[in-house]
Structure 1
Amino acid sequence: MEKESAVIRTKYPEYEVLTTSEERHKNYRIKEIETIISMKKRGRTINDIS
């Protein structure tokens, strides 16, 4: 990704390149996992849950 970012920064210097990072995605808390499992058992779809 760094190589692609460098190419974009060179071609479009007026833009800021934003990349994702593992730190942006936090693990679910136990309560959140329990809620998701409960919703799934009640027939909710992944789209409903998200």
Structure 2
Amino acid sequence: MAKKVVATLQGGAGSKKMTKVIKMEKSPKSGAYIFNEKVMNADDVEAYLKK
């Protein structure tokens, strides 16, 4: 089943290239680090990481 999901993210004709981004942020409540995972278009990765 996992192979099907990966195949759809890699795409075929006319699909966009998708990337999984993991961003480490510091929690304002506890001060511990948390990891946010997101699947997004490869062109938007740099803008997301600069936030």
TM-score class normalised by the smaller sequence: under 0.3
Q: TM-score, normalised by structure 1?
A: 0.27
Higher strand share: 2
Higher relative contact order (CA 8 A, sep 6+): 2
Q: TM-score, normalised by structure 2?
A: 0.26
Higher helix share: 1
Larger Rg computed on CA atoms:
1
